Chains A and B, each alone.
Chain A
Amino acid sequence: MADKTVTRSHLTEAVYQEVGLSRNESADLVEAILEEISSTLSGGEPVKISSFGSFGVRMKGERVGRNPKTGEEVTITPRRVIVFRPSHVLKNRINGNLGGTPGPAL
């Protein structure tokens, strides 16, 4: 535990085991789903997956940052970023397993 990285191939394998599709087609579907989410977000539309979480798109204005290596000041251009808000179901599940009961909502 805590030293494994799950990748596309694990998701493909899970889909292959769960539904009676070939490994190739399972891989294509995993890709198609990630692509559908990516293109929706790229179009500025949020994606809400119940009992998992939601992905939103937020605009960040221009700001002055610093190159951590050189210490040089640089202007960071305005950009769009994705914010992921995990659902309570997912948060509770993670805390149920990793210790630390879901504390009082503060």
Chain B
Amino acid sequence: MTKSELIARIAEKNPHLFHRDVERIVATIFEEISSALSGGDRVELRGFGAFSVKRRDARIGRNPRTGETVRVQEKHIPYFKTGKELRERLNGKV
């Protein structure tokens, strides 16, 4: 399912809403999550999962093609941990 398919499915179930409003709602949700993570905040959606940002320390890496060593700067990566309910649904426990 892509973002536009998600929008289409939600719009179908909510015929009283304009399609462009559903687009804005979906965009707002992901924008809110992205901006929280960019500010270093956590996003916790019980039952669904939690997004957080993890730090990766600077390290000396290697260019796999040339074998040359390169300095990799410290960076931050977004991380998602699946919520309990969704984890159970995936495995047919709900």
Using a CB–CB cutoff of 8 Å, the interface residues on chain A facing chain B are 1-8, 10-11, 14-15, 18-19, 21, 26, 29-30, 32-34, 36-42, 45-53, 55, 57, 79-82, 84, 86, 90-91, 93-104, 106
Contact = CB atoms under 8 A, between A and B. Distances in A.
Contact of A6 (B42, B46, B91): B42
A24 to B, nearest CB: 14
Contacts of B38: 93-94, 96-98
A33 B25 contact: yes
Interface of B: 1-3, 6, 9-10, 13-14, 21, 24-26, 28-34, 36-49, 53, 58, 61-64, 70, 72-80, 82, 86-87, 89-91
Interface centre among A50, A81, A106 (most CB of B within 10 A): A106
A103 B71 CA distance: 9
Given A19-B25, A46-B1, A94 B37 contact: yes
A98 B55 CA distance: 10
Interface on chain A toward B: helix, strand, loop, or mixed SS? mixed
B82 A91 contact: no
A51 B34 CA distance: 10
14 contacts: A4-B41, A10-B36, A11-B29, A15-B25, A26-B25, A36-B1, A38-B89, A48-B3, A49-B30, A50-B2, A82-B87, A93-B38, A100-B75, A106-B62
